[in-house]
Structure formats: C-alpha cells, structure tokens
Amino acid sequence: MIYIVPTPIGNLKDITLRALEVLKEVDLILAEDTRTTSNLLNHYQITKALSPYHQHNEHQVLRHLVEQLLREKKMALVTDAGTPGISDPAFLLIRECIRANVRVECLPGATAFVPALINSGIPANRFVFEGFLPLKKGRQSLLKRLAEEDRTMIFYESPGRLAKTLREFEQYFGPERLCSVSRELTKLFEENKRGNLKELCDYFNDKTPKGEIVIVVAGVN
C-alpha cells in the first residue's frame, strides 16, 4: 500500500503523530526533494530509505513503483511542504495505484491554502482553489472568467511574480475587490496583508517578498 503523508509547511511541529508513525514503518519514502525530506526525518530521528519522486521523473518511475507496491512493499509519498497532490505531484501515482488495486491511504494534515483562507477575513463557506495561474497561454481568458466567479478564490504565487499578478487582478477584478496575501505561513516571519486590490498593489509594488505565497480574493458580489 501507499500512504499520502502531509508534511509541515513551515513549523516542523505541525506534523501529526500518525504521520510520524507511518514514516517510521514504511519501507520507502518517495520525496519531492530528498534533501528537504532528510531535514524533516533527521529532526524526528527517523532513518528510512528515500527515493526522488517529482514532476520531472514521475512518468519514468511510475510503472516501477506500482510493481514494487504490488509486491507488498509499503511506501509513503511526501512533498517538500504540505499535502501531496495540491500543486505537487501525486495524481498520476494515485491513479495508477487505484487501477492496479493497490491500497491508497491519504492522511489529513497541513496544506497552505487552508490557514490563508481562514485568516483572510474573506468568506470561507464557498471557495474555489485555482493554484498557480498559467504563465502565458490561457492566462487572460482564465482571468476574464474568474472576474465573474462569485465564490472566494485561492491562488498560489511565487514572490517574483506577486506584484504583476496583483496588478492583473486589479485590472480584471476591479480595485475595490477584497484580497489577502499570506506568506511564510507558520514560520517566524509570517505575514498576512489584507485590504482591497489597489491597496495591496500599492503595498507590494516596490517589494519582492520572500517565501511561498497564497492569495485569497473575494468573489464578485
């Protein structure tokens, strides 16, 4: 069987007791970046074999992994931070495991967009997760469609593209649309900046913040 195991998005204490138990008992841990995962395992004094599994090799190793799982090997899939499958590789492996009747078990745990959504102050009863926007093809048409979305919208963005994306949101959604930008969640320098899109554009216009970023935007009224 394979376990899908969420890992902390910042603070290493944000891992469940069950996740630690699973990481100790499996035969192999599939990691997006083995160096990052090694830091987590060393912190909790867990010694396990690691194998890379990421967007650049998932197609090549997929069949081999399923064959190992069919021979009753136990594996855990982790990402650098958060829950595998949320803007990180997992879907292909899970789909192939299901097709091969390999048991898949997904543990609950950390993911960045949930705390960003809850502390945004923007309604969280109905929302849509968009992840990273397309860099070029389809970006403008998607923004035009999202301008009419009445649910709260959640996006991931890199620090270097944040100011540009906020300006585009202001252009397509309007300057008065409420928004929240969260970065470095659960870490020492966590920041949650709230306001309308014009205010946030002004704030981040001359800044290139560090860390992973979650943007929460109110739906159209």
| pLDDT-based confidence at residue 206 (cuts at 50, 70, 90) | confident
Please check whether residue 146 is in contact with residue 130, taking contact to mean a CB–CB distance below 8 angstroms. Answer: yes
| pLDDT-based confidence at residue 148 (cuts at 50, 70, 90) | very high
Task: Report pLDDT for 207.
Answer: 85
Instruction: Tell me the mean pLDDT in the region 101-112.
Output: 97
- pTM for the model stands at 0.93
Instruction: Tell me the per-residue pLDDT of 53-100, one tens digit each, with 9 for 90 and over.
Output: 999 999 999 999 999 999 999 999 999 999 999 988 999 999 999 999
| pLDDT-based confidence at residue 47 (cuts at 50, 70, 90) | very high
Q: Which domains does the chain have, with CATH numbers?
A: 2-106 (3.40.1010.10), 113-217 (3.30.950.10)
| pLDDT-based confidence at residue 203 (cuts at 50, 70, 90) | very high
Instruction: Tell me the per-residue pLDDT of 161-193, one tens digit each, with 9 for 90 and over.
Output: 999 999 999 999 999 999 999 999 999 999 999
Task: Report pLDDT for 208.
Answer: 82
Task: Report pLDDT for 87.
Answer: 87
Rounded Cα–Cα distance for residues 113 and 109 (Å): 12
DSSP secondary structure string for all residues of the chain = -EEE--B-SS-TT-S-HHHHHHHHH-SEEEESSHHHHHHHHHHTT----EEE--TTTHHHHHHHHHHHHHTT--EEEE-SSB-TTSSSS-HHHHHHHHHTT--EEE-----THHHHHHTTTS--SSEEEEESPPSSTTHHHHHHHHTT--SEEEEEE-GGGHHHHHHHHHHHH-TTSEEEEEESTTSTT-EEEEEEHHHHHHHHTT----S-EEEEEPPP-
- Please state, rounded to an integer, the average pLDDT across all residues of the chain: 96
